[in-house]
Amino acid sequence: MPNDELQPNYEFIYAGGEQNAYFFSTDNDIAYQVKFVPSNYLFAARAELQIQAFEMSISVAQHNTGGRLPADQLISPTIAAIFFDFFRTRDQVVVYVCDTSDKRQSARARKFDAWFYSYGHSHLAKLNKIIPDRDRFTFISMILHDQHPYRSQVAEAFFELGEEYK
């Protein structure tokens, strides 16, 4: 855990599978799914680096009452605990792409930034990039270990993402 402190959180389970899925339920009976989907295609142009990339996605798996989700202070530390459970090696890279389907990608990017800086681990680095996509912008972040064996090359490959749209 960050700063070597245990944060209160919901219990979660690792279901595994191709998408490295985790699940947890809140006190309000809302089930969440956090996935780390293998995404080596993101860095196909730099195949020689063999970047172990995963796209992180967070979604509501079940919400029986419908409507707006209630505020819950344990969701963020639970997602942080899941993230650090998955992110155990120095060779992995996690990419977070903000969903643009409802045009709330800017809010998602701010929330992800706040989450990372609240729970970030001292050995992890976070890079941000905005990719123009027709009439909107896609916010993406990459998190990697500061001792990644190809840290500079991976960062360079990350900043090259989306250059074909310029």
Task: Return left, alpha or beta for 67; rule: phi > 0 is left, psi -120 to 50 is alpha, else beta.
Answer: left
Confidence class for position 2, pLDDT limits 50, 70, 90: very low
> CB neighbours of 155 closer than 8 A, spacing ≥ 6?
127, 142, 144
Q: What is the pLDDT of residues 94-151, one digit of tens each?
A: 888 887 778 888 888 888 888 888 886 778 889 999 888 777 788 889 999 888 888 9
**Domains in the chain, CATH or no CATH each:** 2-165 (3.40.630)
Q: What is the pLDDT of residues 36-77, one digit of tens each?
A: 999 988 898 888 988 889 999 899 999 887 778 888 999 989
Report which residue type is found at 31.
Answer: A
Give the DSSP per-residue string, 62-120.
EETT-SSPPP-TTHHHHHHHHHHHH--STTEEEEEE---TTS-HHHHHHHHHHHHHHH-
> CB neighbours of 141 closer than 8 A, spacing ≥ 6?
95, 96, 109, 112, 113, 116, 126, 127, 128, 129
Question: What is d(CA 45, CA 84) in angstroms, rounded to the nearest whole number?
Answer: 28
Confidence class for position 6, pLDDT limits 50, 70, 90: low
